[in-house]
Structure 1
């Protein structure tokens, strides 16, 4: 569930940036690519955190 929440937050922030004009000055393909990179990074982070908890150790 945590990964889906993070992906939703990335999408919501990207959409908010487009609506507010922060990302509107960059090409749409660039904005989508950056959003995808951030989503992958958050997914990897969440997976590592989840695996760390399964082993009983902290990833910190």
Structure 2
């Protein structure tokens, strides 16, 4: 999952989309997405445990 976030960030920099925003803003956005994905994964794992 962290690899996915890093890959998207690198792709954005290469394509120039993220290059127009300051680095701290980009890193804050990447951290937000990583936390969001982590919480979603934890919720799904917990829900799957209840179904089984």
TM value normalised by structure 1: 0.81
List gaps (5 residues or longer) in structure 2.
none
Return the structure number with greater helix share. Answer: 2
Q: What are the Cα deviations for residues 13-54 of structure 1, in whole angstroms up to 9, with x where unaligned?
A: 011101111100000110010000000000000000000001
List gaps (5 residues or longer) in structure 1.
1-5
TM value normalised by structure 2: 0.92
4+ residue stretches of structure 1 with deviation over 2 A? none
